[in-house]
Amino acid sequence: MYYLYVIECKDDSLYTGICKNLEKRWKEHQNGIASKYTRAKGVKTLLCAWQISESRSEAQKAEFAFKACSKKQKLDFIYQNTLTFSYGKSYQKVKVSPNTFIQ
């Protein structure tokens, strides 16, 4: 299963990515080995994640659509239980807490 996830960085920017193993990917971001962006900005918290699909291409499509949104739209999505895009797909939020996966 692929997940779409959103991380709040230390400069209050949002980082969006996709992965198959959410816990492993979050630890990689915390340790500075996941992406240049989060390594440079630093991570504050894993804000949320949605279960997307077994299909990587569908996850990439959802990631692209989410990244095209304004920060306000992204924050609106984050505080809803379902992520729904204009192309008709809806995804359920995965329960994460501020302390999720903290080492």
pLDDT per residue as tens digits for the range 14-51: 999 999 999 999 999 999 999 999 999 999 999 999 99
Q: What pTM was computed for the model?
A: 0.88
The predicted structure's pLDDT at residue 100: 56
Could you tell me the CA-to-CA distances from 31 to 18, 19, 34, 43, 63 in Å, in that order?
17, 16, 8, 9, 23
**What is the rounded distance in angstroms from the CA atom of residue 70 to the CA atom of residue 81?**
19
Q: How far is CA 57 from CA 53, 62, 65, in A?
A: 9, 9, 12
Given CATH 2.60.40, say whether it is the number of domain 2-94: no
Instruction: Say whether pLDDT at 99 is over 70.
Output: no
pLDDT in tens, 60-93: 999 999 999 999 999 999 988 888 887 778 888 8
